[in-house]
Chains A and B, each alone.
Chain A
């Protein structure tokens, strides 16, 4: 409701302007002669309004900022996010100072040097020293800012640590699918987009034994305190993985796997306590326009302590175990190994009648994803 007040203030301001300008119409008759070139009262009003609007606007700006602050995102929940936020607020401070300095000069000069018939403007076409100063000083400040930014960028985009936990996230119109490497081999199996169907939504290639224990989830579970490497894919059009609380964003591109690694620092429960909001949930949003469902393309995200995460993963049945019919796709030499995952489920159909699982020759090993993003 505070904004209503702000709105009323703006409307009032506008009305003031209108009234003042109306006045200038009536006073025009005696304020200026018939030669329209001689600036009269209207010039004075406009000159005065410039700094007035600036001051009122600045107050409104500061006030609205303070009002909006509680709605900003909570402190970042990732290590690199902290660096980004610190730098962001420092730089915002710097540019705000620059903005106010230049604006004060702009509006003050406009007011102070308004037309006066008794005065003549100063012929002042150039001053090389002044120009040099305001070329070099911003250049130096900018160079420092860009260097600081580059260091943070370099650290964020450097190769993920070898022990990073790998999770694959695939975007499609209009939801996200996560795939975990499973508990047995800790390795994501190969995939191929030609193997996608209604059940096998990310095209897991079951001729790769690493795929047998892969787990599919519609909620993104993340361990806290461990580097996590997200391998990002898209099935149909561009999407973009955005984890606002974790300060993570990376496009999902069909045909070109991308990646982003980070370390989460707060579990969902910790965030609930910190934000005093028992309903707090991390979330993953799509930030690349992808069609009519774009705005609702989100995924719930849960950050757990590492042990809890491992425990959760153990309870998950692998894709193969939940969809035993896909045993058909497993080549004969690996059948025995694959059966281990389906034993707990009902007896798998005899392999004889089913055609031997045959993967297209161009299946992408998950590991190659890292090089692909260097294109």
Chain B
């Protein structure tokens, strides 16, 4: 790949040339950056901050649940009047905490923090592109997210408190300010924040899809894409099709709240008067909400599964088992994710026949999910496993995915859901399968790609401790919740003690709260490791995990445009690990078959003929690159 200086100019094109001698100033580089890597880091750091805020809120309500007699006067400096005269959390504020915890974790941490970080960071680097299709749109996407976050954060501090109707904000509770303090200004801010967030997600999603379709390097066909990219692609498709529906739902809710329409409200008598609105349907909102809400589960989960696929294959030193089946199951999940939403509504009062239909559809989605789990396990079989922190978090993800997934089969059954709906059984289920599993995927991704992001390594030992505390911790927190659910305890209850029968779970609740505090505290280790290693970590080598994907062929800290010189061509799939006959136990995607005759499979020898065609694309790409100004 020797290249003369002139070639360098050609490839980078006009745009690059312009900037060659002008260093970007601080604001261009770190604040209003259009570089996908910097935007990814902005998403990541913002996501980490949000994760700590969201986690802290959950600790506050776990204190109330685990230690109902505890005096919280010591927290008055933080919570002010939300601590009442007896030193306890206000009941209304408890609901606000639950609501904000859910909103923050689902949208700001596991959607923006996960997809935003890794789609932005990995798509150009793994498909071989200089940057995203539109750097400006990408920057705008982050800033919309940040503003959405700031508005949500501000809502924590207003006198009536933030939204308090649960993260699902079902009207009429969320539509009528007199129904709850949180349905006043807090709800307004929630809606504004979410509207901006959706705009941000749409701009991001458009960019991801366009980039993956149009900017792949030569030779990078869809059948050679790493599974990470497949997962980001399908996630973006899910988001693009479902987020607008939430925007519509939110818009109609805004109309109901402010302009006297009755899309969702009907025949209501509240605060001593009968409201004039008639003919609306509260269930309509639930349909619209879950049309996003259910795909959202997969928006959160698919990137984590993609990251896990990559990490497990690399560290097992084995190809991912069933590459095509993995893509197929992700496609299946993507499609089915749109037609299972009403399993959240079996007892909402909708027609039971609809319930039957959605029960059948819901249990179909369990099949591709099961296939994914089996494929991960088979990938480990006869591997040569290196337990990096990323690998441990990936194995942890599989374990959590299975543990939480199996109870989905119970909850997807409409008849069983009658008893379990809105109990702690549901809380246990989705925190394991969606919350914790996605969080573990996020962590796996951070540990794995940290060297590519900052050119330094994170501390392994701290990573191991972080993993074990988190892994044992989340099981201690969420596994016992199944018992509380089976005992018929409803979720979003401020207090267990008014519920005579389940008083007996006081010990268990204390245990859960202590486990939650320990788990939360152990995330501090991660934060320290993350920020310390960013500046003081051991310098990374170019390909620390001896991985096949092409981001590791870029410089240790890739500059603007990612590769110096031309973007490498791709000749093979990303999972040629431990190939029989090969010298090393990995063959990067950029190595042509013609240079590895010792390890080629018969059908791969045939592909040598195609390499010329891939090379010829080079000339073509150069021309396009020059015309389009380098991007």
Contacts and interface: CB of A to CB of B under 8 A. Distances in A.
Interface of A: 1-4, 6-7, 10, 13-14, 17-18, 21-22, 24-25, 36-37, 39, 42-43, 46-47, 49-50, 53, 57, 61, 64-65, 68, 70-73, 81, 83-84, 87-88, 91-92, 95-96, 98-99, 102-103, 105-107, 109-110, 113-116, 119-127, 130-131, 134-135, 138-139, 142-143, 145-146, 149-150, 152-154, 156-157, 172-173, 193-194, 196, 198, 203, 232, 235-238, 240, 242, 244-245, 247-251, 253-256, 258, 279, 281, 283, 285-296, 298, 362, 373-375
A249 B386 contact: no
A145 B377 contact: no
Ranked 3 nearest A-B pairs via Cβ:
A255-B266, A157-B352, A244-B488
Given A10-B476, A232-B349, A279-B500, 19 more contacts: A3-B511, A49-B468, A53-B471, A57-B472, A68-B487, A102-B374, A109-B381, A125-B320, A125-B322, A135-B371, A138-B367, A149-B415, A149-B416, A193-B267, A254-B282, A289-B492, A290-B179, A292-B95, A292-B181
A236 B270 contact: yes
A34 to B, nearest CB: 11
Contact of A122 (B173, B281, B373, B382): B382
Contacts of A249: 347, 418-419, 421-422
Contact of B363 (A114, A142, A172, A235): A142
Interface in B453-469: 457, 460-461, 464-465, 468-469
B384 interface: yes
Contacts of B421: 249, 287
B152 interface: no
B385 to A, nearest CB: 5
Contacts of A49: 468
Contact of B585 (A39, A84, A105, A120): A120
B349 A251 contact: yes
Contacts, number: 385
B532 interface: no
A288 B421 CA distance: 10
B508 to A, nearest CB: 6
B323 A126 contact: yes
B575 A145 contact: no
Interface of B: 90-92, 95, 164-166, 170, 172-173, 176, 179-181, 265-270, 272, 274, 278-283, 316-325, 347-352, 355-356, 359-360, 363-364, 366-367, 370-371, 373-378, 380-387, 392, 395, 398-399, 402-403, 406-407, 409-410, 412-416, 418-419, 421-423, 457, 460-461, 464-465, 468-469, 471-472, 475-476, 479-480, 483, 486-488, 490-495, 498-502, 504-505, 507-508, 510-511, 514-515, 518, 538, 544-546, 575, 577-580, 585
A73 to B, nearest CB: 5
B179 A236 contact: yes
22 contacts: A17-B465, A57-B475, A64-B480, A73-B488, A110-B385, A113-B383, A127-B322, A131-B375, A145-B409, A150-B414, A153-B352, A154-B356, A242-B488, A244-B419, A254-B267, A255-B268, A288-B422, A289-B166, A292-B95, A293-B91, A295-B494, A375-B350
B410 A292 contact: no
Contacts of A150: 356, 359-360, 414-415
Contacts of B382: 113, 121-122, 124
A68 B508 contact: yes
A296 to B, nearest CB: 5
Contacts of B282: 238, 253-256
A285 B490 contact: yes
